[in-house]
């Protein structure tokens, strides 16, 4: 557990470009404080010291503004940036190398016991204010945009945007991001407009063809005027 805590501190230095040195991370990073406390409270919970685990998690909730249930399972290299308002429910399962921002909720939709919180795969990024609700699975290498509300399963190598969350398949771009280190959140509205612009020339061509056909029909079968009828 001590090695894992050391790694948690080191990850903050690696993932946050604003971090300057080890002392600053240890003293001034609530996300690191909450995660270190969770490592200890999770150990207590698993060794039947459940009340002690809950008390420790509650104290660090008051101290950091981050609520992590002691029973939640969190993998290696997990990082919470800023952290205020983060809530991680009891049956949440989080994989390795996950990055989440402030205001994120991994919550439940049911009051029944059992699995009721999300499972987050490896290498997932969850933007500020996003809500992942219910026993859904978010596939690895996925990005969830800020303010999104995820209520359904999310496949691997996807991007989720909107309320409710809409999945934008971008497996190729995700692989490129791993190489270049650049993040991209495709805009589904912009993509829809782009499709309409691509369709527009074809529609104009069809309208022109219809007009020509109508004009040809009028020339071959002219409509008689009133004088001609008399």
Residues 209, 124, single domain; the answer is no
Query: How far is Cα 177 from Cα 156, in angstroms, rounded to an integer?
Result: 14
Residues 95, 195, single domain; the answer is no
Most confident by average pLDDT, 93-102, 171-180, 193-202: 93-102
Query: How many CA atoms, within 13 angstroms, populate the side-chain half-sphere of residue 230?
Result: 3
Residues 166, 209, single domain; the answer is no
Cβ atoms of residues 161 and 145 within 8 Å: yes
Residues carrying an active site annotation: 117
Residues 169, 152, single domain; the answer is yes
The structure tokens listed for 117 are 């919180």
Residues 110, 194, single domain; the answer is no
Q: What is the pLDDT of residue 52?
A: 92
Residues 39, 116, single domain; the answer is yes
> How high does pLDDT run on average in the chain?
83
Residues 123, 138, single domain; the answer is yes
pLDDT tens digits for range 29-47: 888 999 999 999 999 999 9
pTM: 0.70
Direct distance between the N- and C-terminal alpha carbons of the chain, in angstroms, rounded to an integer? 104
Q: Which residue has the tokens 């270190």?
A: 36
Residues 114, 139, single domain; the answer is yes
What confidence tier does 213 reach under pLDDT thresholds 50, 70, 90?
A: confident
Q: What is the pLDDT of residue 45?
A: 92
Q: What is the pLDDT of residue 10?
A: 84
- Average pLDDT (2-29) is 83
Q: What is the pLDDT of residue 68?
A: 93
Cβ atoms of residues 143 and 125 within 8 Å: yes
Residues 109, 78, single domain; the answer is yes
Q: What is the DSSP letter of 229?
A: H
Residues 108, 22, single domain; the answer is yes
Q: What is the pLDDT of residue 72?
A: 92
pLDDT tens digits for range 63-112: 999 999 999 999 888 999 888 899 999 999 999 999 999 999 999 887 78
Q: What is the pLDDT of residue 133?
A: 92
The CATH number of residue 44's host domain is 2.160.10.10
> Could you list the residue range(s) of the whole structural domain that residue 194 is in?
189-229
Residues 38, 143, single domain; the answer is yes
Residues 160, 195, single domain; the answer is no
Total domains in the chain come to 2
Instruction: Kindly tell me if the per-residue pLDDT of 164 is higher than 70.
Output: yes
- Average pLDDT (187-201) is 74
């Amino acid at each position: 557990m001590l090695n894992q805590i050391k790694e948690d501190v080191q990850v903050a230095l690696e993932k946050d470009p604003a971090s300057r040195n080890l002392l600053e991370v240890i003293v001034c990073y609530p996300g690191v404080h909450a995660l270190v406390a969770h490592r200890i409270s999770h150990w207590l919970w698993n060794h039947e010291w459940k009340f002690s685990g809950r008390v420790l998690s509650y104290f660090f909730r008051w101290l950091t503004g981050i609520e992590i249930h002691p029973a939640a399972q969190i993998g290696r290299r997990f990082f919470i940036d800023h952290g205020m308002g983060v809530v991680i429910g009891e049956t949440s399962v989080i994989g390795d190398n996950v990055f989440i921002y402030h205001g994120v909720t991994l919550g439940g939709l049911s009051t029944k016991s059992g699995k009721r919180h999300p499972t987050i795969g490896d290498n997932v990024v969850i933007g500020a204010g996003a809500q992942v609700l219910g026993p859904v699975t978010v596939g690895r290498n996925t990005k969830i945009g800020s303010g999104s509300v995820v209520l359904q399963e999310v496949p691997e190598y996807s991007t989720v945007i909107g309320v409710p969350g809409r999945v934008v398949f971008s497996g190729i771009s995700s692989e490129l991001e791993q190489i270049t280190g650049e993040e991209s959140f495709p805009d589904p509205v912009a993509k829809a407009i782009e499709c309409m612009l691509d369709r527009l020339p074809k529609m104009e061509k069809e309208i022109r063809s219809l007009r020509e056909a109508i004009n040809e029909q009028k020339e071959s079968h002219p409509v008689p005027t009133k004088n001609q009828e008399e």
